[in-house]
Structure 1
Amino acid sequence: MERELFERILNSLIEGIIVVDSDETIAFINDEALEILGVNGEEATGAPVRETIPNTRLHIVLKSGEPELNRIQYLKEKTIVTSRFPIVNSQGEVHAAMAVFRDITNVEKMAEEVINHKEMEGLLTSIIDATYDAISVADEKGKIVLVNRAYTRITGMSPDFVIGKMATVDIAEGSSLHLEVVRTRKPIYNARLKVGPNRKEVLVNVTPLFVKGEFKGSVGVVHDISEIERLARELEDTKRLLRYMKAKYTFDDIAGSSKLMQVAIDQARKVSKTRATVLLNGQSGTGKELFAHAIHNSSDRREESFISVNCAALPENLLESELFGYVEGAFTGARRGGKKGLLQEANGGTVFLDEVAKMSLSVQSKFLKFLQDREIKPVGGNQTYKLDVRVIAATNVSLEKLVASGEFLPDLYYRLNVVPIVIPPLKERPEDIPEIARVVMMRLNQEYGRMVTEIDPAVLRMFEKHDWPGNVRELENVIGRAMISMELEEKTIRLSHIKGILEKPDKREKLPEGSLSTLLDDYEKEIIKDSLQRNDWNKTKTSNELGISIRSLYYKLEKHGITDTQENR
């Protein structure tokens, strides 16, 4: 009897109610819920909720034990507002979950009748309070009858102060648009005003309210102009991020408005319209590859190939065959039929040679011939191929010094150094750091699935004082580590998040001093001793662990004076 009465009460409500048990099956669903969702009661009760109710989150609430309040949900032609609650037993365990929801598809119609139907005011207030834009409602005489929370946030004026007063009460500069709509009965769009005691500059839209053809007042929507400007910046950041995801960098992706950076960008823009060879000079992490992409994408070759080659990542013989290709049988392990080189793959487009200083003299010589003749001969082959390839090279060391020491061919240097562009390190343009940090933060949000929106000014000031030996790459590392350490609900990177990540140079661990060979020998000796101790001084096991022959191990033991007598020390 009690259960029947309980169900009759729940079925009389105008809210839909669903209760699921710990097995995620529907234990109860009332008549209003069946009507809103369009499901059959006999089939729904006892059925798995995930298979029966579209877009349900009750199973999530069951697991998390956290309520979800006033969530908007779209079901085909209906819109509902839903709250979900965990149900806890006497032992404090979540053993069920309940959803209470309402069809709000006709909220707009309800809003038109709000002035004559005071009983609906509470519902309308709840709805408009959930909106981010400021809203004010005036009656047919121009008196304020309703404002939302965002109105107070933007104007600085409370509901108790403005409700019941004429709509001029919040105007600091300009005329009341509510009173203008009372006079004309016509909407007003995109009017600029200053409102509230702080004279906040806003953009306002006011539209008349008609109920059955009779004028009943007006609704004003107030936008904070500073917020609009922020959204415009975010839109530009989003466009930049999308280009990043597609790996199509342009000059718009290069953050930095400092004089030094603008000089580099202007030089790159000008040379991009030509076919001249470019040499990008800059420390590691300054964005040389970004410049190379931008030059290519701003040139008449933008639709052709862009191939990037890191000269430091490939050994001499492999770099030569990768650049120039090879014919079948050119060397042991050569692919049947040979292989086309990267220069051929880039024909008509651009090749980017990063860390060109790492290119061996023999490869330099062959590449110099290509730049002179604009033709190549694959490794092991006799046939030459004429190519049209634009070359962009990059280096983080002084090629002039390498030329002087005989490590870089002078003729190749002059061929590459047709248009030199110097990309300044981060420490020389600290004014660019806030903009770069914001771009990095947005990209890492995408990569890490986070929603960080701000960087505390105190953090930015610390960033601006740091030397950044690793340049933008180091800045990315610091911001990334800070974001990983943040709680999911945190939106702002603060000093506490970078504590221990970004230290002053004098606080870094001091490296040992001495010649490189001595330091390496000392390190090798410690590694061998540690391995011997782990393997109870079994030399066969130790050599296997270290990946060296037993003969090499005995040689190193003698070299470093490591004897079995040290076992008991």
Structure 2
Amino acid sequence: MENLMEDARSMLQAIIHSSNDAISVVDAEGNGLIINPAYTRLTGLTEQDVIGKPADVDISEGESMHMQVLRTGRPVRGVPIKVGPRRKDVIVNVAPIIVDGVLKGSVGVIHDISDMKKATEELERVKRLVRTLRARYTFADIVGQSDGMQAAVEQGRKAAETPVTVLLRGESGTGKELFAHAIHNESSRKYNEFVRVNCAAIPESLLESELFGYDEGAFTGAKRGGKKGLFEEASGGTIFLDEIGELSMSTQAKLLRVLQEKEIVRIGGTKAIAVDVRVIAATHVNLEQAIQKGAFREDLYYRINVLPIIIPPLRSRLPDLPELIGHLIHKYNQEYGRNVQNAAPSALEQLCWYSWPGNVRELENVISRSMINMRFQEVVIQPYHLPELAGIPSQTQAEGGKVVYSAGDVQLEDQPLNKQLEKVEADIIRGALDRRNGNKTATARDLGLSIRNLYYKIEKYGL
């Protein structure tokens, strides 16, 4: 009988040693009893390091599952820890050893997940690559150090940290879509879908089926099996509803349901489908006036206006012009194969007098056309390269070595550019205050500034 027990013990030890799985066994006190060669290969620890030592001697990060099993008498499975001096990423399964109802120790099987982790990291890298083809921009792509733009960026970064609905407000061409990309790319949803919908560009007859999808047979021409809507496509990610102020009242009602209930119903369907979508909306429309005219639902307004971000127009952040122009010159140099260095101060002065109704989008057009107008060997944008822009004064003759431009009561001379831009900014604020009869709240809204920022500038310029 004793020989039989000894043979069984030897066979059991041989089985453990021949296993390709890393195995460790501890006694009832939690001291190492047995390890196999696979364990040594995985952890880098030998029998001398482990046998007779406490069960947590091999743990480099995490808790010893041997000790937990000895405390509770229950097995554990799939626990990630790091083991050995090389801090190997592993998953452990540990079970109690019970003989005649008595807990004698525990046995653990350790699985190497390093390859799995590398594969996961590679998948995340591919996801990041794919993501750059969808939501292309980040906050690093937003150019401008003016107070209004920095305040908008700060609000955008705060928005990225939460899942709340964001409303981007600003004139056409101010960069609302760029902000939407940046918010998505800095959020926890950045590896998931970013879907852009221009609510003004899609015909009303198609918009609802595009947003919410449809079931088979919903209408003539409907696809067999139906079709997912963009809200379903964006589930887990972000949907950017550009020009939301152009939605019809019926579509607004359906959008309200999505925001309230987190579910959609396809056209022709009856089943509610849950969607986990972060909504970023944008508009250049004055929604408050639209509500008064009955063109926009008040309840939807309060749902989307949770976190409004006001993006200032270009005319209210003229100090950003040099940086913006430098950024665009670099961009079009790459596209056109040119080597333009900068814009001459006289050209910058002219551009500062323009009101920029098309904002940054119009500035892009102007810089692009100016570079096209240049000879290939020219490297500085001059006033004569600029396209004709309404309201820009003509250049006067040089007097005493100074080039003078006039607009209203302000004159610009050859002095540092930042001083000239401050004069222009002061003149714009003065004109806006005059138009609003000194109403600072209305003036701040017109210029895209916070009321606090406006008061600061009024004091700065002595207005």
Query: Alignment length, in residue pairs?
Result: 264
Q: Which residue of 1 aligns with 2:201?
A: 313
Post-superposition shift, 1:398?
0.6
Residue 385 (1) aligns with residue 261 (2): no
Match of 1:502 among 389, 413, 419: 389
In structure 2, how many angstroms separate the alpha carbons of the residues matched to 1:308 and 1:277? 15
Post-superposition shift, 1:441?
1.5
Distance 1:292 1:246, change over 3 A: closer
Which amino acid in structure 1 is aligned with residue 204 of structure 2? E
Match of 1:260 among 143, 148, 168: 148
Distance 1:491 1:247, change over 3 A: farther
Q: Which residue of 1 aligns with 2:229?
A: 341
Q: What aligned pairs does 1:506-545 form with structure 2 within 5 A after superposition?
A: none
Post-superposition shift, 1:397?
1.2
Q: Which has the higher contact order (CA 8 A, sep 6+)?
A: 2
In structure 1, how many angstroms separate the alpha carbons of the residues matched to 2:139 and 2:192? 18
Q: Which residue of 2 aligns with 1:474?
A: 362
Post-superposition shift, 1:368?
0.5
Q: What aligned pairs does 1:27-106 form with structure 2 within 5 A after superposition?
A: none
Q: Which residue of 2 aligns with 1:365?
A: 253
Q: Which runs of 5+ in 1 are unaligned?
A: 1-242, 508-569
Q: Deviations over 1:298-353 (max 9, x none)?
A: 11111111111000001112110000011122112222221111101100000000
Which amino acid in structure 1 is aligned with residue 274 of structure 2? K
In structure 1, how many angstroms separate the alpha carbons of the residues matched to 2:392 and 2:205? 40
Post-superposition shift, 1:505?
6.5
Q: What aligned pairs does 1:228-267 form with structure 2 within 5 A after superposition?
A: 248-267=136-155
Distance 1:484 1:284, change over 3 A: same
Q: Deviations over 1:413-461 (max 9, x none)?
A: 0000000110000000100111111111222222223222211121112
Contact 1:284 1:396 in 2 (8 A): yes
In structure 2, how many angstroms separate the alpha carbons of the residues matched to 1:459 and 1:244? 35
Q: Which residue of 2 aligns with 1:461?
A: 349
Q: Which residue of 2 aligns with 1:322?
A: 210
Counterpart secondary structure, 1:391: strand
In structure 1, how many angstroms separate the alpha carbons of the residues matched to 2:318 and 2:232? 41
Q: Deviations over 1:1-60 (max 9, x none)?
A: xxxxxxxxxxxxxxxxxxxxxxxxxxxxxxxxxxxxxxxxxxxxxxxxxxxxxxxxxxxx
Distance 1:421 1:482, change over 3 A: same
Which amino acid in structure 2 is aligned with residue 261 of structure 1? M
Distance 1:488 1:364, change over 3 A: same
Post-superposition shift, 1:389?
0.3
Larger radius of gyration: 1
Which amino acid in structure 2 is aligned with residue 419 of structure 1? L
Q: Which residue of 2 aligns with 1:452?
A: 340
In structure 2, how many angstroms separate the alpha carbons of the residues matched to 1:266 and 1:281? 15
Contact 2:350 2:393 in 1 (8 A): no
Runs of 4+ in 1 over 3 A off after TM superposition: 243-247
Q: Which residue of 1 aligns with 2:239?
A: 351
Q: Which residue of 1 aligns with 2:291?
A: 403
Q: Which residue of 2 aligns with 1:155?
A: none
Q: State the identity as a percent.
A: 56
Match of 1:413 among 285, 288, 301: 301
Match of 1:440 among 328, 341, 352: 328
Q: Deviations over 1:128-151 (max 9, x none)?
A: xxxxxxxxxxxxxxxxxxxxxxxx
Q: Which residue of 1 aligns with 2:419?
A: none
Q: What aligned pairs does 1:82-161 form with structure 2 within 5 A after superposition?
A: none
Which amino acid in structure 1 is aligned with residue 155 of structure 2? Q
Match of 2:219 among 323, 328, 331: 331
In structure 1, how many angstroms separate the alpha carbons of the residues matched to 2:257 and 2:135? 31
Which amino acid in structure 2 is aligned with residue 436 of structure 1? L
Q: What aligned pairs does 1:196-235 form with structure 2 within 5 A after superposition?
A: none
Q: Which residue of 2 aligns with 1:223?
A: none
In structure 1, how many angstroms separate the alpha carbons of the residues matched to 2:179 and 2:211? 22
In structure 1, how many angstroms separate the alpha carbons of the residues matched to 2:282 and 2:333? 30
Contact 1:481 1:501 in 2 (8 A): no
Which amino acid in structure 1 is aligned with residue 391 of structure 2? K
Which amino acid in structure 2 is aligned with residue 394 of structure 1? A
Q: What aligned pairs does 1:167-182 form with structure 2 within 5 A after superposition?
A: none
Which amino acid in structure 2 is aligned with residue 502 of structure 1? L
Q: Which runs of 5+ in 2 are unaligned?
A: 1-130, 395-463
Contact 1:355 1:396 in 2 (8 A): yes
Counterpart secondary structure, 1:446: helix
Which amino acid in structure 2 is aligned with residue 338 of structure 1? G
Which amino acid in structure 2 is aligned with residue 501 of structure 1? E
Post-superposition shift, 1:486?
1.2
Please provide the CA RMSD for this pair: 1.8
In structure 2, how many angstroms separate the alpha carbons of the residues matched to 1:336 and 1:487? 57
Q: Deviations over 1:103-133 (max 9, x none)?
A: xxxxxxxxxxxxxxxxxxxxxxxxxxxxxxx
Post-superposition shift, 1:462?
1.6
Match of 2:317 among 421, 429, 450: 429
In structure 2, how many angstroms separate the alpha carbons of the residues matched to 1:244 and 1:379? 32
Distance 1:247 1:353, change over 3 A: closer
In structure 2, how many angstroms separate the alpha carbons of the residues matched to 1:492 and 1:366? 53
Contact 1:478 1:501 in 2 (8 A): no
In structure 1, how many angstroms separate the alpha carbons of the residues matched to 2:135 and 2:168? 20
Counterpart secondary structure, 1:420: strand
Post-superposition shift, 1:254?
0.3
Q: Deviations over 1:243-292 (max 9, x none)?
A: 99885211110000001111111111111100010001100000000000
Which amino acid in structure 2 is aligned with residue 367 of structure 1? L
Counterpart secondary structure, 1:348: coil
Q: Which residue of 1 aligns with 2:62?
A: none
Contact 2:353 2:391 in 1 (8 A): no
In structure 2, how many angstroms separate the alpha carbons of the residues matched to 1:264 and 1:478? 25
